Structures are given as structure tokens and as C-alpha cells.
Structure 1
Amino acid sequence: MTDRREVVIVRWPGRSPSTAEGGLVELLAAYHLRTEAEKGEAVTDVDGLPDRYKAEVLDPRAAFVDDAVLVAMSGDTAVGCLVVTAPVGGRSEIKRLWTDPAYRGQGIGSGLVGAALAHCADSGVRTVRLSVWEWRADAVTLYERLGFTVTESWDERDQLVCMERTV
């Protein structure tokens, strides 16, 4: 089992180890494949993903060019990721929080969100928002524990919970 003290957060884009970037691709692929399966639209590989999600996996540097990507590393293994969108009007959005299932329950998700909030504070962001599928009850609980509250939806997709908090 991985000790929490071994997990470090790598901010990306920027100078990051190639293992972080390669691991990010794997984490994003797992995130999107699992999400599509949970929506009842299971696909067997990245090629079957909707184009916008496939683009994130195939070229995350281009997909998130203006955003901050955080990768949690345990040694040389990427074990979690999170994207923070570039601020617009004092607001950023957290997207793509994912922890490798083998590493869950070790504080990686909360560590990534904490690092994201610190990044937002450093960037002058006043409000952080996110959306999460209602069936991801563990994620909703995590976000609530970290101070996010449910807010009026800005997204019309059914079963999506929108949350926000001040920084």
C-alpha cells in the first residue's frame, strides 16, 4: 500500500516528468471510459470515446493548453489527476478528478482538490465550481466535506450536480 507521504502533486503543463505526462494519458483514458460506461454508453477503447473526450486523451497538452493540470505521483506512478480551468471573471472550474481505483481511500483526491484550491488562490480566483454525476456519491461526499455546496445548475445534462465554493 502507498503511504500518503509518498504522493506528490506535479503541476502541469510546465516542466513535468515524462512519467507524469504518460500517466496522465492513462488516467484520463480510465476516467472517460468509466464515465461512458456509467452513463450506459460503454466503449471498449479510447477510439470509441466522443471526439471531445478522445482529444483530451490523445493530446492533453493541446486540450488543456490554458488550464492547470495536477497529477498525483506515487514514486514513478501517476495515481491521480485533476484539471483546473483558466480563470474567467474570478472563477475557475475543477474537472476530471480521478484517482486510480487501486489508490483510493488514501487522501489523493482530497490532496488534489486542496492543491487545486491553493492554485486558484494564487491565481486570484474567488470562486471554484465543478459538476459531478449524481451517481458518484463518494465524489459528492468528498466535495461537500471540502466545502463545496450544491448550486443552481449551469449545465442542462440530466443527473449532473453542480457545486461551488469560495476560495
Structure 2
Amino acid sequence: MSVLIRTARFPRDGESVSMLVGDYLRRTESEKAEHGLVDADAAMPARYAREIDDPADVFTDRRVLIAAVDDEDCGVVVIARSAEGGEISRFWTTPAARGRGVGSALLAAAVDGAPRPVRLSVWRWREPALSLYARAGFEVVPSWDERPDLVCLELR
């Protein structure tokens, strides 16, 4: 098995990015409801729905990477650049791809060439993700986000 990482090209990859980001956002909202942070019956926030409906427009100024195994797209990450460094968001691998090196390959590609520091945030209950980030050299830093249960990390 080999993991192939490619930069998303729109419109060709729009459907895959929409599916993967949608899976990430739906799972995140479900977990937030399980932890009492949002109402389980609340609609998906409009800004998230836009990422699913029109990722080409929403991510126009960001780099989007897709991971594939055996020609099946199974991971996504979005990288933004700013004067302060890089920021990773929407990092997701399908449940079937986990434990197969997909997340590690996708994260390595995301930080390769990204301006430092690279920062990201993750919910405290996502322990496998926190372990992956620690193995990649990310360190917990004071939070820049006031939402409870969010852990902020940086790679210098």
C-alpha cells in the first residue's frame, strides 16, 4: 500500500474535497454535541455548509492536499499562509484509512515548505490526533481560541 498526496485542483477535485471536509465537519459537530458544546439538533453553521457546498471558493486562497490509497481519496488537509506563519485546518482521514500511515503522510506534506510557525487546534478528546501532532514535533501553546476543550499547538 502506498499513500499518494496531491494538491487539490478545482473543479476536478471539488467532489472529493466536499465529501472529505463534509465528513470532518459532520463528525466534529457530532463530537461537540456529545461533549455538550453545541445543541445536537442545531443545523450545521452556515460557514461550514459553504465549505461543503463550494470548497473551490472557500479555499481559493489556501492549499488543499488530498491523500489517496489505491486510487481512493481518503484524507484532506487545508493549509493557510499568513505573515505570522502557516495554519493547518480540516485535517481528516476516513476511518478506514486510519492506522495505515495516511495521516502521517498527509501531515508531513502539509508542513513541508509551510512557513513557521505552523499552528493548528484540535479538540482535547481527539487523543490519536494529539499523539500524531506530538510525534510530528508540535507543542502545546497558550490558546488563541476561547472555545473550551480546544488545544492549540505550534510547530516551530
Q: TM-score, normalised by structure 1?
A: 0.84
Alignment of 1:69-108 (within 5 A): 69-85=64-80, 87-108=81-102
Shift of 1:15: 6.6
Give SS of 1:34's match.
Answer: helix
Instruction: Give matches, 1:91-130, under 5 Å.
Output: 91-120=85-114, 125-130=115-120
Cα deviation per residue 1:122-151 (whole Å; 9 max; x = unaligned)?
xxx121000000010110011001000000
Q: Match for residue 36 of structure 2?
A: none
> Hey, what's the Cα distance between the residues in 2 that align with 1:43 and 1:105?
32
- Is 2:149 the counterpart of 1:144? no
On the 8 A contact 1:28/1:96 being kept in 2, the answer is: yes
Inter-CA distance 105–156: structure 2 relative to 1 (3 Å threshold): same
1:8 paired to 2:4: yes
Secondary structure of the residue aligned to 1:147 is coil
CA shift digits 1:98-123 (9 cap, x unpaired): 00001110111111110011141xxx
Query: Runs of at least 4 residues of structure 1 off by over 2 A?
Result: 41-44
For structure 2, which runs of at least 5 residues remain unmatched after alignment? 34-38
Greater fraction helix: 1
TM-score (norm 2): 0.90
Task: Give the conservation status (yes or no) of the 8 Å contact 2:68–2:75.
Answer: yes
AA matched with 2:90: R
Identity in percent: 42
SS of structure 1 residue aligned to 2:112: helix
For 1:24 and 1:77, the matched residues in 2 are separated by 12
2:126 matches 1:133:
no
The root-mean-square deviation of aligned C-alpha atoms, in Å, is 1.7
1:106 is paired with a residue whose SS is: coil
Q: Secondary structure at the match of 1:9?
A: strand
Among 48, 53, 66, the alignment partner of 1:53 is 48
Assess if the C-alpha contact under 8 Å between 2:10 and 2:56 holds in 1. no
Deviations 1:59-109 (A, max 9, x none): 111111110000001233210000001x21240100011000011101111
- Closer/same/farther in 2, CA of residues 73 and 21 from structure 1, 3 Å limit: farther
Q: Mind listing any 5+ residue stretches in structure 1 that lack a counterpart?
A: none
